[in-house]
Structure 1
């Protein structure tokens, strides 16, 4: 039963990734149809991410009152309805309106499922959970590219992904009773109790609360927050503007560009699956450095005037480089800043991650609309360098805590 239930959670995380890469993939066709400026995609992205930030901050209160199962069901339903609305919308204002519930649904289910896995399953499942997000994010551009190539229609791509989401909603509805049943089983599981030996009674919990301090006053935390912000800036900017760069600068068709962007997410997916095994041999810091260096190499290849096959391959390389960074930085948090502070610090990190996804991609869109999208790889390069610098600064400040 536990395995079957885990499959349901993984499928829910696939659905979380499906919509994330649709906008950037379809934007070369959506922009002229809506009659808006090139950088308007950044505005839509900000509305989605803004909704995600709000729902993430409220997720603790919502989960407490509704439970993880209902929150996941409602969130997926909101996402499905929003995507369906986008497929029929003919006004940019409606697109912005629909972006709000799309973001609200994504943030709630993200926080709910991450928390559920952290509480009830072993650590390696967390890496694979994010791997399944990559499966969804990879499938999104593939589905969209098929409709762009076959019908020159982005709307049917959104409609198809919406129908997939509705199928998941139906599945989640009929499995709602399982959430409470599995929660009771986990509560009485000796293995689950051992996972939380540091807070297995009220006295220990009170001690932890007493030792907690303002996270921003801890050495290295501000650099950690910056690392998360610029990591998500890299990931979101790659996905949102990748197709526009390949179409406008490298001369690819919208369908071919969509497939290339899907390879970026495929790199993240495969990389995170493999990382789950590599963590048994290498520590988090080594994996973070390796990932950042790999992403840096891929970006350098992207900005050079090389053959198209190399340009497309660079999307894969950057994706593979991104794969270990986010989960390893999350996992390293208790080691760097202490278990008693990790919960609050991770909350701050998620908030800054969404902030990076909200504001950094539109900066490129705003500037590119007034200059050229050729700046795309230079922005990615700058974000990676800043992230790498902040990450190494943390290692210096917290040296000796491993």
Structure 2
């Protein structure tokens, strides 16, 4: 072993000293040695050949140092501002050393053992004290150094994928640490993508997670980034599992649409709205594969009354109201020509209109724009569908084609001849 590696080995051996001053002195020397190019090259060579002092051996010494520092911080009882400030600085120092070491070791290719690194990060996060002290650092390592590494991505075991997924889903749903929700949502999205490919995911757990977190969209403030990542994760899950979970996903959609329309109105960012549109298009495909209209043809809903109420609401909000706004903006800006719609938006509008206007027993509100009510309605041609807690009287729609013509005329006027079907 070279003189440089002998010196580094000596510092590693002293990192788990019971004396605070000794650990402080040797961690500084430890960092200096690792900043020397010759030491890094020798560690790389030994790690590649699997003999001598390796990056993994040095990592184990660093873990011992962290555990000693955590134990020391837990024992400190001072509550003065000076004492608390000192503890915060020590936490920051220890966390930064850990993150710095991981990137120093892996910046020329992954040298650290994936299983050991992941085990240490999860151990830190699951502990009440270290989870709060080093949660942000651990999330940064998972997000930037583990999940974005192709080598590590392939090396994570099935059980580790499931453990990661359950831990971070719970952390995002019921946050108890000071970790950024934006970061947690990005991690959940990447972990779910990996778990669906590399592991057997517990679908019941994931369905419960999404149902719970979507129900909180109305009551809890979340950034557009968090909402986008949650919906992106949900859409990935649906796309992967739709063939096996049609009934469960239809029920999830029926339970979630009101909350997602709240998201549509609240968040104006294109990325969030795009994820909502993707979700709704997949719900249309699940409920009405290939555009079928009736249950006999293959349509399915957990509750058709609820689902048809959602379709009518989607028509109001996403077809008529949104396209009217587009036409208004076009007029105010003095733009000549038609407003450009995304293909996915047009396809969703066409699917919704097809289901509302093609059913022989379709119903629509008196005030529904573009719907032609039968003015000679009899008592047995009326329906009552609960919307927003109150019963709204519905009138029978003429299915002879007149309603289609009215809607075609309205959309042609509102969107300068842009017709989705």
Q: Same fold (TM over 0.5)?
A: no
TM superposition score normalised by structure 2: 0.22
As a proportion of its length, which structure holds more helix? 1
TM superposition score normalised by structure 1: 0.23
Work out which structure has the larger RCO, using CA pairs closer than 8 Å and 6 or more positions apart in sequence: 1
